Structure 1
């Protein structure tokens, strides 16, 4: 197999479906999507039906020349109540997925947790409760023991930074609140749970490598003066090193702690004895989900808030925006292009991020674990999807990755989000990311898009 991993990615709740089959328990997303709060009534109950069509999907992935597949395990498919009894049918399902990957010479790249917290733990405070970190480590131990001899690449948690931000500041994910202090507490416990899991992995001396996936952004400013440079430093702490320093160096940046204390945030959940756990939880590699940069400007006024456009072109207020009180506000480049959901399309997104990581952490291995474009894909008269818009953007990002690699950045893999169309958190099914079109109205039929062929050619050129 080529040393460089070329692949694509999915997540359990977003693609599997089978939400109540074969002993699976409820996740907080099952409960939310079935509640009155879910205004559109759209859920991942069936999603892309990967649970029943995994072999077809992996076969198509391999046919395009991809040599790796990133997927997540469903916590409640393996441990239905979040803690306690293990569901063997859940274990068996993932064994079949892994075996299918191996049969098609595809490297399985496994994420243990991707947003789908067990409902039972959510009801007890979710990630704000330290016991959830303990429960996660116990769940990870079950996964390690079941699959360790078949997996070379593990990541503990997907995007603790982004999940906690959406749940506790934006408020569009459960628990739907707007509270910076509660967000900080949840993020802390997610990172603690990850460190506990890494320690178990090391103590058991399992083969393979283990990392964590986060969503760093290259922080940039449009005005070069002291005020702007200061808020850029604040944003770097908030968006990046609050996670990356912990998993690379084993503790939080002192400037971050001081800034949080000065902002009046409650840090009583931070325990002195945790530092040894974080030190033992340093990762082997960084999983980087890269979608855009972040432009910031000095804070002017207002409480901490974040807006994300989950309605696409139907939303009159298009651009995503953020205010972190006393820290920074997001800025906008009037010359930039934006997608229908208000995210900037910045050609050097991956290149800049890889150069930043190289400067901060030297040669730590990096895998781009997600990189993709959500848009309104439609079948044309010939029953095909000509997604030239996606191809143009991905081409620039991949070329930026290859340029960074040639300049000495230790990037070892690239995964497009996503393998096939799937349920997009809150956005439902209109926002499509896949290399393969899923026809939800006709039994989830798979139709490769033009980008599928583009990726096949791109991989062949760079093997």
Structure 2
């Protein structure tokens, strides 16, 4: 089957600041919670950090050239809050403004649209010292930071994303302790959930009041498992996961409020103040979906939240995540219904593979990542079917443009369509890079 998409469908690639930039102490950047977290023994594979990463801070022009040669039309990247406000608030760091201004101009020169994520997890450490996302005031600091970005870049950026995966910020960072700042307290996580939602709403309002043209939305990583069986209790397990992992974020933004029955069942109280829900539900222009996998669950009274993940039959990626292209369609359907049919973007999709460069007969280094190509092809077919079904997906951003620092996994997992040799920082386009090039050009099947 030929892979065919609308002529105006937007094809992009994505990265995040802490994962690719490096240069963590250069040009006035302040420390982030991830700089701190990476120094805690045992928290990150190999004791690694994003201190150098792919050095995109210095090498962005090379990466832009590679994007242009692949026909990539948009680049979704995040701004490092500590580069703009080293202390999270207070004096603006002009060198940080200049860097992103130069990056954005270079993208325009290459005919590539910049798509900016304001927060992809690198909270300034100074704000964490004041309580991080548990502290309501951080939401207002975020709104000021967002306003600064609109003023600095709003004439050259027309698509903004407030938060990337608030689930990870709140739950992985505050409930499970496996991401920065490494707290494990469900009530701390609840406070973080609400203040992240509030930060999003305040940032959307700041954009509306800025007078800048463009669109603004948010990116969610949904968790929508399928039930292990048709038994009512397994269906109940699915709904519990959706309430816990999705509706606490999507519900308030979509004007539906928090899933109060679930919260009450866990004894969780959100720190809602008067007017908060109106702020959070300020209308957005689009919603982003990050999709990688789908799992299955069953009801188990003895498991946390009475929900147990069960084994799946599908092959898995190097992350151990089942490869479920049909789940991609199910997630898109759910998000369409939850958001009322507003435009959607796939803001991340891809897979980790144990890539190895080889030298071909002509003496060129190549990376034959056939497993990634198979993953992408199956998901593009699912995406094509979703579009034919009428789901309003307007664009797709492949994760990731280049191999990078994979958070608690350090450099042990590779998601890129461009190989990064971390010793030399050399870039090597993988076979998946050329496959994506053909897809964008309309010649993939």
With the length of structure 2 as denominator, give the TM-score of the two structures. Answer: 0.94
Superposed, 1:103-118 pairs within 5 Å as 103-118=109-124
Q: Which residue of 2 aligns with 1:436?
A: 418
CA distance in 2, matches of 1:301, 1:452: 46
Q: Which residue of 2 aligns with 1:270?
A: 272
**Shift in Å, 1:47:** 0.4
Q: Which residue of 2 aligns with 1:5?
A: 10
CA distance in 1, matches of 2:214, 2:443: 25
Superposed, 1:139-288 pairs within 5 Å as 139-249=145-255, 251-253=256-258, 256-267=259-270, 269-279=271-281, 281-288=282-289
Q: Which residue of 2 aligns with 1:132?
A: 138
Query: Which of residues 295, 310, 329 is equivalent to 1:331?
Result: 310
CA distance in 2, matches of 1:296, 1:55: 45
CA distance in 2, matches of 1:2, 1:140: 32
SS at structure 2 position matched to 1:92: helix
**Shift in Å, 1:158:** 0.7
**Shift in Å, 1:357:** 2.2
Structure 1 regions of 5+ residues with no counterpart?
A: 303-322
SS at structure 2 position matched to 1:344: coil
**Per-residue CA distance 1:368-404 (angstroms, 9 max, x = gap):** 0000111211112332110000000111111111110
Q: Which residue of 1 aligns with 2:376?
A: 394
**Per-residue CA distance 1:121-176 (angstroms, 9 max, x = gap):** 11111101101111111100100111111111000111101221211233211232
SS at structure 1 position matched to 2:88: coil
CA distance in 2, matches of 1:2, 1:356: 25
Q: Which residue of 1 aligns with 2:48?
A: 42
Query: Which of residues 364, 373, 388 is equivalent to 2:342?
Result: 364
SS at structure 1 position matched to 2:254: helix
**Shift in Å, 1:331:** 2.3
Q: Which residue of 2 aligns with 1:411?
A: 393
Q: Is the Cα–Cα contact under 8 Å of residues 91 and 146 in structure 1 kept in the other structure?
A: yes
CA distance in 2, matches of 1:113, 1:345: 28
CA distance in 2, matches of 1:291, 1:13: 20
Q: Is the Cα–Cα contact under 8 Å of residues 147 and 210 in structure 2 kept in the other structure?
A: no
142-151 or 230-239: bigger deviation: 230-239
CA distance in 2, matches of 1:412, 1:9: 16
**Shift in Å, 1:276:** 2.3
**Per-residue CA distance 1:78-137 (angstroms, 9 max, x = gap):** 111100100111001001111011111101110011000000011111101101111111
**Shift in Å, 1:262:** 2.4
**Shift in Å, 1:2:** 5.3
CA distance in 2, matches of 1:248, 1:265: 21
SS at structure 2 position matched to 1:111: strand
**Shift in Å, 1:345:** 1.3
Q: Is the Cα–Cα contact under 8 Å of residues 7 and 415 in structure 1 kept in the other structure?
A: yes
SS at structure 2 position matched to 1:348: helix
Q: Which residue of 1 aligns with 2:407?
A: 425
SS at structure 1 position matched to 2:366: coil
SS at structure 2 position matched to 1:182: helix
With the length of structure 1 as denominator, give the TM-score of the two structures. Answer: 0.90
**Per-residue CA distance 1:265-312 (angstroms, 9 max, x = gap):** 233x12132122123x3311001111112322113214xxxxxxxxxx
Q: Is the Cα–Cα contact under 8 Å of residues 318 and 413 in structure 2 kept in the other structure?
A: no
2:17 is equivalent to residue 16 of structure 1: no
CA distance in 2, matches of 1:294, 1:193: 30
**Per-residue CA distance 1:418-438 (angstroms, 9 max, x = gap):** 111111101111211111011
CA distance in 2, matches of 1:64, 1:274: 44
192-201 or 34-43: bigger deviation: 34-43
CA distance in 2, matches of 1:219, 1:201: 34
2:327 is equivalent to residue 345 of structure 1: no
SS at structure 1 position matched to 2:411: coil
CA distance in 1, matches of 2:318, 2:160: 33
**Shift in Å, 1:343:** 1.4
Q: Which residue of 1 aligns with 2:37?
A: 32
CA distance in 2, matches of 1:285, 1:210: 7
CA distance in 1, matches of 2:109, 2:373: 29
CA distance in 2, matches of 1:437, 1:252: 43
**Shift in Å, 1:178:** 2.5
Q: Which residue of 2 aligns with 1:450?
A: 431
Change (3 A) 1:132 1:121: same
**Shift in Å, 1:348:** 1.7
151-160 or 228-237: bigger deviation: 228-237
CA distance in 2, matches of 1:349, 1:456: 25
Structure 2 regions of 5+ residues with no counterpart?
A: 1-5
